Structures are given as structure tokens and as C-alpha cells.
Structure 1
Amino acid sequence: MIDARDIVRAADLLHDVVAPTPLEYSRWLSELVGGEVFLKCENLQRTGSFKLRGAYVRMARLSKKERARGVVAASAGNHAQGVALAAQLLGIDATVFMPYGAPIPKEKATRAYGADVRFAGTSIDDCLAAASEFERETGAILIHPFDHPDIVAGQATTGLEIVEQCPQVRTVVVPTGGGGLIAGIASAMQRDGMPIGVVGVQAAAAAAYPASLAAGEPVALDKMATMADGIAVGLPGKVPFEVIREHVDEIVTVDEDSLSKALLLVLERAKLMVEPAGAAGVAAVLDDPLRFEPPVVVVLTGGNIDPLLLLRVLRHGLAAAGRYLSLRVRIPDTPGGLATLLTRLAQEEANIIEVLHERISASLHLDEVEVALQLETRGEEHRMRVLASLDSNGYTYTLN
């Protein structure tokens, strides 16, 4: 377990390294919850996530001989940047293993901080195996992304800031991967007998903690598939697992639609850029706002997202929110057939983004053509009204 003294010592180490991140009041989430909701903006932290806190504390406590051996880490990107910057500040050589397909901005930022980036496998777990092998071969010190007391103590300083900025807090909602951040925050919440609940949020397609907690020990997932690469961890860490089992109230999961909608809304309503993992806490609040006792603090854990992924996630989020409709409609192959369809859509005030007119296909009858449409709608109710209009006018369509 991480005690208060460990956390205070970590905060002292970080005093001139990290700046306290803002705690922003969220009116739109507060209205949903029926009480105050605040966003803890770790996406605005140096390197774009909370990871520098734990990485620096761990590495600052290395002996002179250990520093001379260099360090090695495994990360999808945020821990990579934290380790790379900490190594630069402390004068340590760093090698970082990242999965193939890791976001390009995260890779470039890690290299810019001076680390040697290598690729291994398709997940953090694959990279951890490669980093462990590198440690055995070279003697470099493995800086684990979450499974070490110093890492947890460093991340716990986020919790100290939350308590200082919002002393009335009753629930803290934390995106959760390996568990280092939520274990740290839960440790920091153990003060003065205050009833502060801590809730972890995992992507449903990469949720290792529910089964592990049920089993009483870390249990590895067979597979993972989520846009939230920052919390896609297949095996919980032993150190954070014990803290989470003791001090975290519950772990909930959110699906991909919820993640993309949350990212879209954080961008639109809070004017903050987050990555899918960083939006997981907001997704949980949107899914079940009355679940959380206010005042609530939701941690935005990271803001490092590839612009190309951002475009895809935003489009997915628009579709999930009923504001983007992609479909294929069959119409008669007669003069005015396309104009009639477009007029119907205009009458329903659907904004047409793109039209593709396909006349030749083995699946079409001789007297039919197919029109691929991308439409902008104003929400789920409007989306359903557009589809109902197509139904009532006899159109056959398929949703993409």
C-alpha cells in the first residue's frame, strides 16, 4: 500500500517538474448529474498526460549506478513521453518500446525528448515483454508504466491536487488501464475519514479489472480491441491491483460509441482536446449520470491523439450522437428519381454532405440505381425522422 508519506515525498520531487493542472467546472455535466461536476485536466499536463508524474518519481529515485545503466520502458505513447522527458531532465539514456501502429504524434514526441524508440507487437503487453528482454540483455532499468510503488506514488499527486482544488469532492471518476493512476488517486483519498468514492472506468473491449477483481488476482485478457489505446492493458499490475481491491469502490465499463461521443462533447462543450482513453470518465458519466454522488471530479487523463484518428473518432461520435447518417438508398432508374429523393431529404432539413450515384451493380434490378448518401442531422430524434420519411415514401435503404 502507498501511504501519505510516500505521496508527500513524491509531490516534493515533482515540485519543479510538473505544474498543477486546472480543475474546470462543467456546467453541462453538472446539469446531467444534478450536482457539481469538475474536470481535472491532466490532458494539459506537460507531455499531454499524467504519466510524467510517476515516471519522474521512479527515475529520480534511481541510484547513480542505476542511472548509468539507462532505462527502458514500454508504452502506447503517454508513458513513453513521460519516461523520455524524465530521462532528459535527469540525464539518463532511455529506450522505449512502442506497439506497431502507435499514434505518430506520440512516437515523434518521444523521439523529440531524446529517447530511442523501437517497435514490438501490437499491444502494451507485447512491448512489456520486449522491454523485459531488453532489460535482461543490457542491464537497463525497466520503468514499468504502472506496476511499481514509485509510479503509483507519483500518480497519486494528481489526487492530492484534486483534494486541494475541490475539498468538497465526493466521487472521483478515473480512466483505468493497468491501474497506476486510480491506485494512486485512491491512496490519496484516504484522509481524515472523508467518504470520497473512487470509480474506475475501462473500455468494455479491454476491461481486465472486472474479471481480475472477481478472481481475486490479476487475470490476463485473451484479446483487446478498442480505440482507447491508452487504457488497453491486458493484465493488471500486482501493485495497483492490491490498492484497487482495497480502496476503489467499483470499476465500470464503456463501449466504443460512448467513448467517441464523450470525446466529441468534451471538445464541443469544454473546448478541450482529449484522446479516447482520456474521455473514458466522461463517457461513464454520460452513460449513467445519476450513478455518481456529487460533487464529482472526472479526470481527463490525456490529450495526445493522432489527427487522423481524431477525424475518425469525431465522425464515429457524430454518428453515435445521431448527427451523422451514412446510408445507401435504392431509387427508380427514371428521370427525376434522384431529384425527388434529394427533395424529400431537403424537406426533412437533412444537410447533404456527399452523394454517390451508382448505376451498375449485380445486386441492382435493371430499373434501379443506388445512391450512397452522407447526411448531417441535428440529433437522434432528427435522424429517426429522416429515416421515417424514407420509409413512408417507399424507399428501400441500408445503413452503413
Structure 2
Amino acid sequence: MIIQKLMPNILFMHTVKRASLSEWTMKNTFDKARAAENTSREAIEYLERASGLSAVSTANFDGDMSFSSAFMLFTRLSLLITRRRPEIAVHCVLIHVMPHISEVKVSDISRVLVNQLVNPLILEGKIVQGRRVFSLMKQFLSWCAFQGLIDTSPLNDMSLNKVAGGAKPVPRERKLTDAEVWVFWNIWDYFNVCEGTKWAARLCLVAARRPDEVLRARKDEFNLQRDVWNQGTRNKSARQHALPLSPLMRKCVEELFEYGKGSQWLVPSNKKKGVDTPMSKVAIAQALRRILERPELMDLEPFTPRDLRRTARSYFPALGINQEVARKIMNHSLEGIDRVYDRHDYMDEMRDALDRFSAYIASIVEQQDLDEIDHKFKGDRLATELIRVNFS
């Protein structure tokens, strides 16, 4: 009985003792520079406050904590340790949750209360945000139960798949046709767009990369003697990744090296003179949207930089590139047991595949006009006379 009464104090003293050794080495995934490009100033300030919590302060909590106090601890002890992008979760909570229940006790948070946060978002058609709020609240309340702030989470037996009646955002399916690839490649030369944006956009297509993977690349990632782009873990999956440079990829990289002379970045910003920073992550999307809104391009179905990666992936099977090699190029994990045992780097196979893809794209974009290029099916043509007039 005496031991049971002393246990909380013993555990707390043990935590304090350990804190003196680990207070300044607590794991933290927060990257302020990266977060500044993706979220609000308020979210960054919140994460900075959470990052400053000491090990001693994180051991000081009780069952009567408000949501705002408990979520700060949850951010420090969970989000900042387990999430690669904690700013996304924090931004969501600051916008959709904190204004409504910041002073509500954790023990008073019920299933009804969580649904009162989620339902308005669903009614506004914000399914992604609604699902994210539910998912974060479920994770938070499970953490509270684990910490002993509540006995059980009210969301334990509720599934994310039931939110909004099971409705999920429809995944994008847009891919460019051969004719649209020709238009995409050539429109940059006919409008007032900086060289960095133009060649970065083209590199997204021929390298099958996400825009931020191109726009956040440093020049030292590229070995032009070996024709290799060593991206490292700077990608969505955080897996080591190296990619051979095909002829068109190399052309894009060389043009970007010339554009960004004196900068460490592959695509440096042209907005801040005297400061070496990368181009904005939305630069390609904004430039492309402005171009596609032009009257002479209104007949063209809109597309985004994200659709370029899907377009590249869709070309691979048509060019006879097998699935394993395609997955390696995309930096997707292999399937089944191969994920564990297949440690082949596939560099030669990827080089052959990307060279084939490069040659095919070159055969399209080097055509003088659209007259001989297929659109949606063989023999179909992109019926946009204004495009032909402006690009002739």
C-alpha cells in the first residue's frame, strides 16, 4: 500500500532525473524553414513553443487539463517526434478545433463534441479537412488515454471510414495526351515566364518528380559526370533515392544550372535579390494556371504540375517498362516479399527506362506543330486552332 502511494512520486523523480540528461536532446522533427513554406505563422509559433518544452514540464500534468494545455503536450510528446510534417496537423487544429474547445476539459470531450467539429466541415464540402480533424482528435484522445488523462477514448470504436458516410476525396485521374504534352512543353516559350520556372516544370515531367522535389533540389545532388541525381531522403516517403539522368533530364538540369549561377539551389528564387533562397514551391503551379487561363488555351482541359508525374507513370507501361522498374523510378516500395528481400538498386534498368521515356517525349515535343500528334486516340487531333495560330 505504501509503495503504491509512493509510486507517482517515484516515477516523477525518475522522470526529472532522466530529464537532466535528455532535456536538450529530445527528438524533434520540426523544420522551421520547411514549415514556413507550408503553413501559417501561428502554426510555426505554436510549434516553436512546443519545441521549447522541457522534459520536466512534460511530466507535469493531471486529469483536469484543458484541451489547449493537453494538445500542447501531445504536440511535444507525439507530433514532434512521430510526424515528418507536424505543422500540417497543428495548422488544422488551430483553424478547426482550438477556437471551439480550447478551454474544454479533456475529460469532457465526447463523441458528440468531436462530431460537432467535423460535421460543419463535411456540410461545406471540406471532406479532407473533416477527415483530418477526426483523425487528429482520435489520435489525440488515444494518447490522452495512454497518458492516464482519461480512462478510455470516446472515439475508440469509431472508424475514419465512417466519416461523411464513408465518402472520400476522389483521386485525380488527369493525365496528358501526346498532343497536350506538346502544348505543355512549348507554351513556356510563348509567354513571359522566367527560365527557372520553365525548365523546372519540364523537369517535373521528364523525371516524373513532384514539383517540390525539383524546386527544393540543391546542385550538389547532381553528378553530371555520372549522370545521376542523388536525391537522398528528400522525398515524400523519406527513402534513399537516386535517379539516372536521361538526355532530356540532363538538358533541363544544365539549363537550370545556367539559370542559377552562383546559387546552391537548382532553382533559386528570382524575387529576393542578394539572398540565396529556392524558388517558391507554388511557382510552377501559379505560372501554369495563369497560362492555361489565357483565351487561346481555353479549349485545353486544365491540368496541374501534379498531373505531370501521373502522366509520366502512365507512359511507362506503354513503353514496355516493367512494374518493378517503374516503381523504383517513382520511389514507390516494391510489393509483397520483394519489399523485404529485393535490394537491387535497379540503376541500369532505370537508366534504360528513362532514356526510352526521354526519347519518346522528345519525339513529341520536337514536332513543328500539332498536325501529326495524336490526342485522345490514334488519329484524333487536339481541336484548338488558336493554339496552332499562336504556336506557328
Query: How does the TM-score come out when normalised to structure 1?
Result: 0.24
Answer 1 or 2: which has greater strand percent. Answer: 1
Higher RCO structure (Cα 8 Å, ≥6 apart): 1
Query: How does the TM-score come out when normalised to structure 2?
Result: 0.24
Answer 1 or 2: which has greater helix percent. Answer: 2
